[in-house]
Structure 1
């Protein structure tokens, strides 16, 4: 069968499954035919939710050009197109501004707040995925709105410079600049700087882990919680999950190698803990904020679990949640909106953030 598309490699398909609208059931699994293949997820394959398998089948049927054979600009258009279809989104109040003092100049941010709430809210610094190359405020708009509404917090979305235009450590220095600014000037954007968390998906999870390490090394800011959504934690490609899911589903080993080559072409720097948090010592991890790790069926699974275990060894409170019947990026991809995994993972993420930022009793009561 043809390889699944987009992050595994294929070009933007022409007829992607749309995200289900409110009150509508998701699509059924397509039957394999010579012109419409079944796209297995892993070797041996895992059994996916119907909506996820339909998504992979349609991508496989397109059999397009792998991302890593496209220009960076063309590759970015693949994800932009993939995320451009109609999908239900929660309401939000959105503003844009820049933060001074980044390593290469001011850093752009988007502030996303639940609507109709006056006064300061807790803040969540958010670092997006997309292999350091792809992704932006639009591709992650639905997910960020869900987090803001569910956590009753302002999400500060960092528009870090993508790779290869910026390479390690510039993007994480930009992210740290924003986090430090929010801690010192949060009132300028309606954020209570005493209640901060940080979160990110995929390579954004890598950057989240890096920023918490930087904050420890540099004496702040302080985060009540970090959330790592199917994170990249090191640059080794030989774990059992990398072997099982080498050809996908969705995210392949070859795509991850391409992402790393854009972000950290100097292989020597990949061994630094700020590039590969899994390589941090237990002592370096000690005292980091309590952590939620969400995983799925992808090449990154074993690394994420190993990082969670290492954090526990350092005395950090860690919660793991694994969603076996779904693919990488499932919380971000609009085509997978409303899957059982998506709904449960968003609920877990927002509950965790709400309780960290408000306290369990106040979070239950829905009050500040």
Structure 2
């Protein structure tokens, strides 16, 4: 019995010793704190850029002769602009206050179904460019010295609208744009009155009465007064100083041209015919007299200015899947000025986006316009504009 008790005592002693050794260990078998998984690093992906093809120069201007250096002349005082002189038309205004405000750059649709449009005859100048898919053109009426009671149909903006906005420091009056153009506008310093975000000065023509069959693309309208009142309300009206064009009653030397054809797409083919009695070029669209719905009279221009500029197809698509255009309107290119029955060959110059359009001969001397409204036709460099005598 004593022998068995001795064995049990030996076993207990050994067990106690082992437990004591476990308690005094280094702790290498204890649980380690979990390792924190580092945050993944994300690469910032910039917004998808508007991709354009690299333009191929299609016309090269004759370089101007290098001027011989001369002694620095004494500074000549800059003449104070005549506050009554409209720099866009050369006309004298009765109230100079009308020139102390922003030009309105009004996007006007030119679909065959919405002609005649309203308000074009009272614009100071009108710009016309080809639209996506080469099926139609669109107009930008520059409304400054006069206030049309109706401006319609209001349509969407394009990249070229932004360029005109910078050149004229005007308020953009339009209804919509694609997402890329809207993003560029949101990042710009321009006053953008997109009807989608500034509905107050716009109205929609309801499909009833005389408008019951009027197409959807012609239903947004406004007036110069509504837009100007709204500009004042949001604190965006301001005086704008524009360099303007050169004007002269003297007819510059050129080739006879009493008929002009701008080969825009078939739905928007443009013709001008010179009226010697009024010294204006009356406008035809798609073979019909192009009139103003407000006055009922045929549209007529004192000057028709053809600006040849590269149309670059971009990665941006319209609702029909057609690529939209980036019109290269800075730098210089070929230009033709038609007035008083003649066409004058020259070039346009615009060194920066904010610079005003200059019209000069190949030797650099300015080409004067006739006093009155001008229509600017922006065409690709390979267009063949027809001039002849009728």
Please report the TM-score for the alignment, with normalisation by the length of structure 2.
0.26
Query: 1 or 2, which has the higher helix percentage?
Result: 1
Structure with bigger strand share is 2
TM-score (norm 1): 0.27
